[in-house]
Amino acid sequence: MNGAGNSDCRKWEDVYLMLISNQNPAESIPIKGTLFLTDDGTKVGIHWVPHHDQDSSLSEEDRKGCEIDVRNMDFLIIRKTPFSPCRGVYLSLKSNATYGPFEFRSGGSSSFLQNLSSLADVRKCDDFENRYSVRPRPQINFQSNYHLPQHYVQNKRQFSSGVVGTPFSNQLGASLRNIGLHFNTFAQSILSPNLDENVAPDGTIEEYLTKGIAEDRQRIESTHLRTTDEGGFAVVERRPNPIYLPPLPNVHRSLPLNMNQWKKSLDPEGRVNRPESLREIIFNGGIEKDLRPIVWKYLLGYYQWTYTEEENERLRVEKSREYHTLKAFWKSMSPDREARFTLFRDRKCFIDKDVPRTDRKTDFYSDDNRGNLTRLSDILITYAIYNMDFGYFQGMNDLLALILYVVKDEEDSFWCFVGLMNRLESNFDGELNAVREQFNQLFSLIEIVDPAFSEYLEMKSAKEMPFCFRWLLIHFKREFSYNDTMVLWEPST
């Protein structure tokens, strides 16, 4: 903490306030801005300032910034935001008002926590994962002969009181209290730090921010545009980005794998001969509907291609027994014991919220008369026990819903889900390296297939393409019908 009169300002750019709807968490609205952490010697403040070029459809209230005095804070939580590759920082005040989540899309959530810890008393809570209590540090009472001249202190304008002279800057310091009341706080994830502490000691936050944004905007525009002066007129043209596309091959979809082909691939003991040939048929044509419950068990790593029919049956009996042992563990847990098992209780709470909202428009999950929603919930909770280190993240319910729809049997669906999560677990982990790699590959593909669109994305600072995060996270499960999604899944399993 600096002495009185010495201002300290640290900033993180590309910090998005996510407006997450209570009715549909997947339909979130990102508002781009810059987050500041300030210390003027008397108090520590957290300020989020939206960029001026926001969606015109947003309300005036949604486009305002917020200012939080750390003295009024109770705790913060850092969790993965639903259907997003970034960690969200949620700020909770003693008044029970909540701000956030704030997503650090260029990295820096860990850096923000580290820097806040250097200015305030931040301690990890033992009773809640990723929750930190926040308290101001005791102020040092200097003797009067150490006080700075009064005129110097008065020249240090507060963040919320100054006016630079633009409609954008006039919004600085406004409250986002209504936003905090309207939206839920879910989620978990992490990105690399990105910190800039280059703030002049005698400058105000407003002036620094306005100057910084103007410089950033000029730098971005100069990268994508070039101008020439023609007799008093400026001719603006885009820089060429020639990419020569190779000729596209003609692709014809084959017939799906049928029961007759499947039976012919089995030897007398039930082993699958040449599974690579079957995979080629599946890749080019998919699988017939009635055959899917059998073949999916092999594709998802539950049944073994090299096992005989008898060996796979013994495996099924053994795995069924193991599943019910895991399920009985949490089913027999008393309310008192569950209350002391914070990690399990929190995960079960998330599952209880997500399952009733899963694919309710499909007949299979339209109600629980056939017990399908109950089975969906039981499998997810049992998986959280089976893989305690990993647990549960939003989106896993979507993946399981399709497996249970195809396989039907609860025990078999669980182990098929385990096989799928063994492959996709890296999509949900905190580092998100697998997802980032998929985004890089996708953007490289767009640069080749549609260079104009890739240039547009870069111009709009959307190269990371957060709008398609859900597509990759749950493999287009929410974008297409069940039948179309199965056609997409089968070649990649």
pLDDT digits (tens, 9 = 90+) for 274-302: 999 999 999 999 999 999 999 999 999 99
Kindly tell me if the per-residue pLDDT of 491 is higher than 90: no
User: If pLDDT is split at 50, 70 and 90, which confidence band does 310 have?
Assistant: very high
Two tokens, residue 490: 């089968």
User: If pLDDT is split at 50, 70 and 90, which confidence band does 7 have?
Assistant: low
Question: With contact defined as beta carbons under 8 Å apart, do 186 and 25 qualify?
Answer: yes
**Type of residue found at 305:** W
Question: With contact defined as beta carbons under 8 Å apart, do 312 and 299 qualify?
Answer: no
Kindly tell me if the per-residue pLDDT of 203 is higher than 50: no
> Residue 259: what pLDDT?
96
- 8-224 is classed CATH 2.30.29.230: yes
> Residue 126: what pLDDT?
72
For the domain with range 259-431+474-492, which CATH number is right: 3.40.605.10, 3.90.330.10, 1.10.8.270, 3.40.50.12780? Answer: 1.10.8.270
Cis before residue 242, ω within 30 degrees of 0? Answer: no
Report which of residues 46 and 139 the model is more confident about.
46
Question: With contact defined as beta carbons under 8 Å apart, do 93 and 136 qualify?
Answer: no
Q: Which of 50-54, 172-176, 489-493 has the lowest mean pLDDT?
A: 172-176
> Residue 201: what pLDDT?
41
Q: Which residues, 6 or more positions from 262, have their beta carbon under 8 angstroms from its beta carbon?
A: 278, 291, 294, 295
Kindly tell me if the per-residue pLDDT of 193 is higher than 50: no
Kindly tell me if the per-residue pLDDT of 332 is higher than 80: yes
Percent of the chain scored above 70 by pLDDT?
Answer: 71
Kindly tell me if the per-residue pLDDT of 422 is higher than 90: yes
Two tokens, residue 383: 């998986």
In the chain, domain spans: 8-224, 259-431+474-492
Residue 81 and residue 74: Cα distance in Å, rounded?
21
> Residue 349: what pLDDT?
93
> Residue 24: what pLDDT?
59
Two tokens, residue 450: 């549609």
> Residue 148: what pLDDT?
37
Phi/psi at 239 (nearest 5 deg)? -70, 140
Residue 255 and residue 240: Cα distance in Å, rounded?
43
CB atoms within 10 A of CB 463: 13
Q: Which of 32-36, 138-142, 373-377, 379-383 has the lowest mean pLDDT?
A: 138-142
How much is the average pLDDT of 1-28? 66
Contacts 24+ apart (CB under 8 A), 23-31: 25/82, 25/83, 25/184, 25/186, 25/394, 26/82, 26/83, 26/470, 26/478, 28/81, 28/82, 28/83, 28/84, 29/55, 29/58, 29/62, 30/103, 30/466, 31/58, 31/62, 31/63
User: If pLDDT is split at 50, 70 and 90, which confidence band does 436 have?
Assistant: confident
Please give the mean pLDDT across all residues of the chain: 78
- Tokens 């403040």 locate to 45
Question: With contact defined as beta carbons under 8 Å apart, do 60 and 45 qualify?
Answer: no
Q: Which of 107-116, 204-213, 425-434 has the lowest mean pLDDT?
A: 204-213
CA atoms within 13 Å, Cβ hemisphere of 383:
29
> Residue 252: what pLDDT?
81
Report which of residues 73 and 223 the model is more confident about.
73
User: Over the stretch 49-105, which tens digit does the pLDDT of each residue have?
Assistant: 888 766 666 666 666 788 899 999 989 988 877 767 677 899 999 888 888 889 888
Q: Given phi > 0 = left and psi -120 to 50 = alpha, else beta, which region is 149?
A: beta
What is the biggest distance separating any 2 CA atoms in the chain, rounded to whole angstroms?
97
Kindly tell me if the per-residue pLDDT of 153 is higher than 50: no
Report which of residues 339 and 86 the model is more confident about.
339
> Residue 215: what pLDDT?
58
Two tokens, residue 355: 């399952």
CA atoms within 13 Å, Cβ hemisphere of 241:
19
